[in-house]
Amino acid sequence: MPFNARVIAVQMCSGMQPEHNFKQLEQWLEQSDLREPTLVCLPESWLAFMQDAEQSLQFAEHYQYWLGKLGELCRRFHIWLSAGTIASKDSEGGYYAASFLLNEAGEVVGRYNKIHLFDADVADGSGGYRESRLTIAGNEVVVVDSPFGKIGLSVCYDVRFPGLYQAMRSLGAEILLVPSAFTTVTGATHWLPLLQARAIENQCFVIAPAQYGTHENGRKTYGHSLILSPWGDVLADAKQQLGVISAELDLTQLHRLRTDMPVQVHNRFKSEFYE
């Protein structure tokens, strides 16, 4: 039954020390209005924004410990938590950029491994990005049932590939999560229109918590965490401020829009994910 779902997106400037980043999150939760039920969404690499892939691989060995700590937060604050991305060790010597979804009991109810890896040259002083060097690409589309509606999981660079979001919509997604660490160069031009396109074409709410600022690892990120309506309206924008933004998602409005303009029914293109 559709209802108003409360969501929070956290904008961070994460450093390389997970203990510090975790403490910052805990402080923001203590200061937030966490009426039940609330879905809290964190950005990409929120727990440890490392300088290179080797450091991320070393950190990835400890991801189970941090999942336990996040479970404690969920139980303490009675929240659902989308844990951005946490590097998670793989048996083959690499790691996944894994996005975990935890319920209010602290249980992991969904995991998405980032499918599209950012191998690109961007004129932002970084010298380019080669995410695939030690990161292993995922291969599964993930949509999770929740008290807030059906949640589709994705990460950052995924937003440039609309087929992934169409696949999530075909699996029933009503809310799309896009935790990110967009560069300042690409963010200034592409961030808002890409997210609006994903919201409009799939008639979904989009929650895009982001990194912002100059980081300890030397990276600079764009910020502007966003919560968007299925019509593409900006419901909340963190702009260039650290902290939280929130919105009430009217799922009744979403289903009315889908009834009035049934684009999913009209879509004549199919993919391997469509039944």
Residues with a catalytic annotation lie at 44, 114, 156
Which residue type occupies 33? D
Query: What's the CA gap between 116 and 160, in Å, rounded?
Result: 9
CA-nearest of 254, 265, 44, 226 to 149 is 254
Counting every residue written for the chain, the total comes to: 275
Q: Report angle CA 70, 72, 74 to the nearest 5 degrees.
A: 70
CA-nearest of 237, 235, 234, 207 to 223 is 237
Write a three-state SS string for the chain: CCCEEEEEEEEECCCCCHHHHHHHHHHHHHHCCCCCCEEEECCCCCCCCCCCHHHHHHHHCCHHHHHHHHHHHHHHHCCEEECCCEEEECCCCCEEEEEEEECCCCCEEEEEECCCCCEECCCCCCCCEEHHHCECCCCCCCEECCCCCCEEECCHHHHHCHHHHHHHHHCCCCEEECCECCEHHHHHHHHHHHHHHHHHHHCCEEEECEEEEECCCCCEEECCCEEECCCCCEEEECCCCCEEEEEEEEHHHHHHHHHHCCHHHHCCCCCCCCC
Assign residue 173 a region (left: φ > 0; alpha: ψ between -120 and 50; beta: otherwise): beta
